[in-house]
Amino acid sequence: MFTCITAALRRVGKPADEGAATAEFAVVLPAVVAVALLLMCLARTVVVSMDCQDAAAAAARELVVAGDDADPYGMARAVAGDDVSVSVARNGDLATVTVQCPVVPDPIGVLPTNVTGKATGVLS
């Protein structure tokens, strides 16, 4: 009889939530995937932004060094890729290069679709 009571107590004392960890994981997994996707898209946006700024700086440097023989459009495209748009504004001794680079849009539309890099050089 003692063994029968002990066995009954073991059944009563057993945790009722044996599958709770699996269920919690299934609920949390979509949130983890969404955060990971957002971080990857954010990282891509930052990399494109840095490349765009580097392209603007290289194009401005090209204008300063090469003068009238400069090709700032080609330099910016060589640094950031062929799908960038480049504009050069001259104001006296200053040349301001603005480079706009497209970013692959994220699925939820939170991040920008274009980033801009701007650099100014003093012409001699």
pLDDT score of 26: 83
As a whole number of Å, the end-to-end CA separation of the chain is 104
pLDDT score of 20: 73
Query: Hey, where are the domains in the chain?
Result: 25-122
Mean pLDDT of the chain: 84
pLDDT digits (tens, 9 = 90+) for 11-46: 555 555 666 777 788 888 999 998 898 888 889 999
Distance between CA 26 and CA 90 in Å, rounded? 58
Q: Are the beta carbons of 83 and 102 closer than 8 angstroms?
A: yes
Closest CA to 117 of 92, 94, 85: 85
Q: Which residues of the chain have pLDDT under 70?
A: 1-19
pLDDT score of 34: 87
